[in-house]
Amino acid sequence: MSSQATHRWLWPAVIAHRCGGLLAPENSIEGLVRAHGVGCRGAEFDAMLAACGTPVLMHDVTLERTTVGRGKVADTPWAVLSQVALRTRGGEVSPECIPSLAMALDACLALGVSPNIEIKPSEGADRATGHAVAELAARQWPKSAPVPPLLSSFSIPALEAAALAAPDLPRALLLEIVDADSLAVAQRLGCIALVVEQSQLSALLISRAHAAGLGVAIYTENDAERGQHSLVLGLDGLITDRPALFLG
């Protein structure tokens, strides 16, 4: 079987990490705008549930690192989170507040940016988060759009719930460590790709994944020479804090 014959990757090769990488506050609408401004047409961002069940863009379980707020995202309703200002990468207060997933998808549609939504559950909320994120993305993203959102997660229960809620949306298995069972697990889950930590990438992994019908993306690649070499090897997607390094 050809190593390139069966896999299907629809998203841009260069994907901005947490909306805009280092260009803006992480998981922000400004990040999407700035990534688009440097020519990036793909963006990865994290979706977690607020206390009321609204999916919001947030990586951490708690608010302190990236916002002026305090406490857990899962304990705070969207009505409050929507008024919480984000911090810049330097720690200053940004004029932008925490966006909802719905707001981020609207921005992606307006900008022509293809989203990779990482389902990021708080403790004990894997299935609820997977279901809510997938259901919202399927409802909001036009079925006529040529490229659908890609849902990814480290959480197997979250991916299983996403598959039940929106079986037509593609999914990817996130992995920090690749082992002998990784391809089989991704296939069992009905995933179309693996997204692996960049140190786990090899030409052999790309070849085996493609032969199994799976795309391969990496996170978080900020080394221009290494990243370009990976793309030459056949890497499908490269998630980066520095998208401008790989564009133009």
- Has residue 4 got a pLDDT over 90? no
The answer to whether 21 touches 248, Cβ cutoff 8 Å, is: no
Active site residue 17: yes
The answer to whether 84 touches 25, Cβ cutoff 8 Å, is: no
Domains of the chain: residue spans and CATH: 14-246 (3.20.20.190)
Average pLDDT of 135-150? 97
Catalytic pick from 7, 17, 36, 131?
Answer: 17
pLDDT in tens, 16-65: 999 999 999 999 999 999 999 999 999 999 999 999 999 999 999 999 99
Catalytic pick from 7, 36, 59, 229?
Answer: 59
SS3 103: helix
Confidence label for 248 from pLDDT (cuts 50, 70 and 90): confident
Taken in order 116, 32, 54, 46, the sign of the CA dihedral is positive
Task: Compute the distance between CA of residue 33 and CA of residue 215 in angstroms, rounded to an integer.
Answer: 27
Residue 5, pLDDT score: 44
Task: Compute the distance between CA of residue 89 and CA of residue 98 in angstroms, rounded to an integer.
Answer: 14
Active site residue 229: no
pLDDT in tens, 72-104: 999 999 999 999 999 999 999 999 999 999 999
- Has residue 1 got a pLDDT over 60? no
Enter the tokens of residue 81. 């989170």
- Has residue 2 got a pLDDT over 80? no
Q: Where are the alpha helices (DSSP H) in the chain?
A: 29-37, 78-81, 101-111, 126-140, 156-165, 182-188, 203-211, 224-233
Confidence label for 7 from pLDDT (cuts 50, 70 and 90): confident
Average pLDDT of 137-164? 98
Confidence label for 8 from pLDDT (cuts 50, 70 and 90): confident
**Proportion of the chain in helix, strand, coil states, percent, rounded to 5:** 35, 20, 40
Task: Compute the distance between CA of residue 188 and CA of residue 185 in angstroms, rounded to an integer.
Answer: 5
The answer to whether 97 touches 85, Cβ cutoff 8 Å, is: yes
The answer to whether 119 touches 58, Cβ cutoff 8 Å, is: no
Residue 187, pLDDT score: 98
Task: Compute the distance between CA of residue 187 and CA of residue 212 in angstroms, rounded to an integer.
Answer: 8
The answer to whether 175 touches 154, Cβ cutoff 8 Å, is: yes
pLDDT in tens, 164-207: 999 999 999 999 999 999 999 999 999 999 999 999 999 999 99
pTM equals 0.96
